[in-house]
Amino acid sequence: MRIAGLAVFACLAAFVAPARAEVSPELAQAIESTRTHFPKLVRFGEEDHYLAGVDDAELDKLRQRIASGPWDDSSAAAVWVVLEGFAREQGPAATFGRNLLSELAGLAATSGNPATLEGVGRVLELFLADESHPFSILAQALLSEKIRCGAASQGMDDLVARITRETNPDREFGFGTTDGTVADRFGIHERADLYSVSAGGARAVAVGYFGSVLVSADGGDTWSAPATGTDEPLYAVALGPRDEVWAAGRAGVVLRSKDGGRSWLRRPTPFSRHVFGLFASGADTVLAVGDFGLQLRTEDGGGRWTCIPREQDVILGRLVRAGDDAVGVGEFGTIERLRGAQPPGVRATLSGVPIDTYVYDAWFDAKGEVGVAVGLAGTILRSSDSGATWTRVATPFTQDLFGVGGAGSRVVVAGEGGLLALSTDGGVTFAAAESLPLPVSLTDVEFADADRAFAVGPRGLILRSSDGGSHFAVVHPRPAP
């Protein structure tokens, strides 16, 4: 990454030293710049612990500079001085510094200012270059994801290429290839754990472990298991118009089918982050979201992807239709409505649940006005104002709930212990649906039309209802005669 032209970063090598007890000449120069240009920002102490305090109001002003400018060398110096100061502390101060580092990188990624991206990127590079630095690993992730995404969204190809060369977001984990060897060798497609299902009319597609896909073109009477060319777990599936189907999962794997799921083609993405949600808004067009706040969109069938930067790095889960919009869910009580199915989303207000509630899935009626969302510990939330506010529904359930689907006023939730519960009043009340006793977790449920609904689970388990969710029976694997 280019560091020439910024005086306070003129000699990276001099700063990268094993001992942290002394302030390097470059850092000392940055401190003097901060004293001059931001005299109220930092209260300085002595030697290693030079950061004696930071003024909250002045720090907010620095945040604003990152978010919307102006940006110059003095801004970069101030960011370095503040973050380096927190890095030299212990306990809560060090934790605050890590959180602040992530926040500032997110602001830079969404600023739309190339100078800000370059400047904050240089600070992160300083931390990354010193493997003993407390922020080194975090800086690696932030450069790889947030700054690179922001640069890609601005068409800064040189910066994207430099970051890609200097960082590898998955080097610590040794991720392998996605060549389908496990599934091809053992032929376990039909009995792999299933994580997601999408259905419409007579079509239904379920995806899961080892790159497994199960496809039905006759309303769930029969199922086939086509080769997908990957052994990575698939966590999300979405039906597009006509015969288009998308599937995605671990390490950025995205697959596309143009023939209803009979054959699949890998569509490489620029990030190796897990994809947990897909939304196909039109022909050749899909939004993919997932780990570390990942948001990718393509309008040409996956030939080119646009990275949409995001300030927060929360895990984003499923995407569902709400009228002409999409609604996304995730960790820390995330429920967001995306107008026209394009980020950024508008975050909803939740009541009656902890602020860190994990939301796994949501459903909306055809108008996009009434919604139901589900999460941990029996959480069922309902919205009647297009997803702006959500209130907890009183139920006797304590199991984790992973899926929700519906049609009209009929809504089904699915979760631990084979739980399937039906509401016939648009999510106001719920009662257990009739199904076989299944001591397994059901991971998703989806309605194909007003009558047919599908639920999926481990070992290739697929349940079907033909009466709007009142009764469910196993349709895969086929029960023995």
Q: Mind listing the pLDDT tens digit for each residue in 80-114?
A: 999 999 998 888 999 999 999 999 999 999 999 99
Does the structure show a pLDDT above 80 at 2? Answer: no
* Interatomic CA distance for residues 264 and 278, integer angstroms: 16
Up-side HSE of residue 308: CA atoms within 13 Å toward CB? 16
DSSP result, 262-306:
SS-EE---S----EEEEEEEETTEEEEEEGGG-EEEESSTTSS-E
> What pLDDT does residue 480 have?
62
> What pLDDT does residue 160 have?
87
- For 395-403, what is the mean pLDDT? 95
- For 427-454, what is the mean pLDDT? 96
| Structural domains for the chain | 7-166 (no CATH), 181-476 (2.130.10.10)
Q: Mind listing the pLDDT tens digit for each residue in 175-212?
A: 334 444 444 544 556 888 999 999 999 999 999 998 99
> What pLDDT does residue 198 have?
98
Comparing 438 with 362, the larger pLDDT belongs to: 362
User: Do 167 and 143 contact (CB within 8 A), yes or no?
Assistant: yes
Comparing 48 with 211, the larger pLDDT belongs to: 211
Kindly report the number of other CB atoms within 10 A of residue 451's CB atom: 14
pLDDT averaged over the chain? 89
CA-closest candidate to residue 341, choices 315, 329, 323: 323
* Interatomic CA distance for residues 369 and 360, integer angstroms: 19
Tokens of 148: 């690179």
> What pLDDT does residue 179 have?
47
Q: Mind listing the pLDDT tens digit for each residue in 255-314?
A: 999 999 999 999 988 888 899 999 999 999 999 999 989 999 999 999 999 999 998 889
> What pLDDT does residue 175 have?
36
Does the structure show a pLDDT above 80 at 8? Answer: no
> What pLDDT does residue 481 have?
61
* Interatomic CA distance for residues 451 and 459, integer angstroms: 25
- For 149-162, what is the mean pLDDT? 88
> What pLDDT does residue 187 have?
52
- For 400-421, what is the mean pLDDT? 97
- For 14-21, what is the mean pLDDT? 39
Helix (H) / strand (E) containing 248: strand 245-249
* Interatomic CA distance for residues 326 and 68, integer angstroms: 28
> What pLDDT does residue 48 have?
59
* Interatomic CA distance for residues 193 and 190, integer angstroms: 9
Per-residue confidence at 447, pLDDT binned at 50, 70, 90?
very high
Model's pTM, two decimal places?
Answer: 0.81
